[in-house]
């Protein structure tokens, strides 16, 4: 203990660490009515850190070759000490990251935290959401199983429906006319280098925007639920009289993270094959098409939407329009009210969108 105090004093003299702690931790105040939904950001940071660590450990034994990928994954599962645990933790974590990210997105939507001046917070978060879907898609192919091979074939074939440039884009993504060894190489580079760097950069930007604009006040339990930001001059939203980030809200973040880890470990240890259909354990065979191949659960709504329209291009256009609307929502919804029950048009649209998303997912699963 004395050693830590001496180290603290030594650092304080040289870099003023006490001032930093006061400003960023104990002196950083949050709204008194802040709720548990705000902890989802910290949970997502924990998930991303675990994905990076488990991914690096898998890279020690994984071989990114069409001839050896499936064999190397099998060796990780059956021969490497605790290899099964690392692989299952990585696979389960990727699925739960999408789940938590969707809840985080919904919490921001329903609390109106995307409204000005937080447009950049929303845009950076929206891009992060798409990058997470991208890293999940590219990682899906790496085991080179029958499921991953044909699911990737289905996912990339939809690109060809884009007029004029669709065929070129599909061949560029695949590295050829068909999914094959060049596709595995491209997806490997995207999964382990390009997309993680993009996610890291956007996480930094997202936290920077959050720090500069300040934490938004939840529109619950307060008399005035309208957006307080006015004018065209920069203003940080402070919370005088609020609760300190440390130790008060750090404990709330730690509690939410502990609950997530309990759920995560329960799946890993008691039902690790929850996200693994039978075809995930069969090596890829380009000459044998499975009877009912489907993408992962978070792509099922997109998959089912394409089946509803007479042409794939029309289905892609509808999905593109929906995603564009979602990305530009802060610029479309300019109203000052933030409480969801006082925004009936938003509430109907949001609930309808959630029902449609879940309905398409269930429909896609059983169709």
pLDDT score of 361: 95
How many angstroms separate the CA atoms of 78 and 66, rounded?
20
Contacts of residue 189, defined as CB under 8 A and 6 or more positions apart, other chains included, come to none
For residue 22, give Cα distances in angstroms to 33, 91, 141, 205, 245.
Answer: 22, 39, 47, 23, 10
> Are 360 and 306 a contacting pair, CB within 8 Å?
no
pLDDT in tens, 95-114: 999 999 999 999 999 999 99
Residue closest to 282 by CA, chosen among 70, 60, 132: 70
If phi > 0 it is left, if psi is from -120 to 50 it is alpha, else beta; for residue 295 that is beta
Kindly report, residue by residue over 285-327, the tens digit of the pLDDT. Answer: 998 888 777 888 999 999 999 889 888 889 999 999 999 999 9
* Contact yes or no for 128/199 (Cβ under 8 A): yes
By mean pLDDT, which of 13-27, 33-47, 113-127, 184-198 is the weakest? Answer: 13-27
**Cis ω for the linkage preceding 247 (within 30 of 0):** yes
pLDDT tens per residue across span 201-240: 999 999 999 999 999 999 999 998 998 787 778 888 889 9
Structure tokens at 344: 């009936």
Closest-CA residue to 114 (of 100, 129, 99, 131): 129
Structural domain boundaries in the chain: 33-217+241-296
**Homologous superfamily assigned to 33-217+241-296:** Cytochrome Bc1 Complex; Chain C (1.20.810.10)
Q: What is the pLDDT of residue 183?
A: 96
Beta bridge partners, 145, equal 283
- pLDDT grade, residue 179 (50/70/90)? very high
CA 171 to chain centroid: 27
SS3 224: coil
Specify the pTM. Answer: 0.94
Taken as a whole, the chain contains a residue count of 367
Residues facing residue 283 across a β-bridge: 145
Phi, psi torsion values for 240, nearest 5 degrees:
-55, 135
């Amino acid at each position: 203990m004395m050693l830590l105090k001496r180290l603290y004093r030594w650092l304080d003299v040289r870099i003023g660490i006490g001032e930093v702690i006061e400003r960023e931790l104990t002196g950083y105040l949050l709204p008194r009515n802040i709720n548990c939904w705000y902890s989802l950001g910290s949970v997502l940071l924990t998930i991303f850190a675990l994905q990076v660590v488990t991914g690096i450990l898998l890279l020690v034994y994984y071989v990114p070759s069409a001839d050896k990928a499936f064999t190397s994954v099998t060796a990780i599962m059956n021969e490497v000490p605790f290899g099964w645990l690392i692989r299952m933790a990585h696979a389960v974590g990727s699925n739960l990251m999408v789940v938590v990210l969707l809840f985080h997105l919904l919490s921001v939507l329903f609390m109106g935290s995307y409204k000005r001046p937080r447009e950049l917070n929303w845009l950076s978060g929206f891009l992060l959401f798409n990058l997470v879907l991208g890293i999940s898609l590219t990682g899906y192919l790496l085991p080179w199983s029958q499921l991953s091979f044909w699911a990737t074939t289905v996912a990339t074939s939809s690109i060809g429906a884009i007029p004029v440039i669709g065929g070129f884009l599909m061949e560029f993504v695949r590295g050829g006319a068909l999914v094959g060894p060049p596709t595995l190489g491209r997806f490997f580079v995207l999964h382990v280098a390009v997309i993680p760097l993009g996610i890291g950069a956007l996480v930094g930007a997202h936290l920077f925007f959050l720090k500069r604009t300040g934490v938004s006040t939840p529109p619950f339990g307060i008399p005035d639920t309208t957006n307080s930001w006015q004018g065209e001059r920069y203003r940080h939203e402070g919370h005088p009289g609020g609760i300190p980030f440390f130790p008060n809200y750090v404990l709330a973040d730690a509690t939410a993270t502990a609950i997530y880890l309990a759920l995560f470990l329960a799946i890993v240890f008691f039902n690790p094959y929850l996200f693994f259909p039978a075809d995930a354990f069969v090596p890829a065979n380009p000459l044998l098409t499975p009877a009912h191949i489907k993408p992962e659960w978070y792509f099922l709504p997109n998959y089912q939407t394409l089946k509803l329209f007479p042409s794939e291009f029309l289905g892609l256009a509808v999905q593109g329009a929906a995603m564009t609307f979602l990305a530009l929502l802060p610029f479309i919804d300019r109203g000052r009210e933030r409480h969801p029950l006082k925004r009936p048009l938003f509430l109907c649209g949001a609930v309808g969108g959630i029902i449609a998303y879940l309905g398409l997912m269930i429909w896609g699963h059983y169709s």
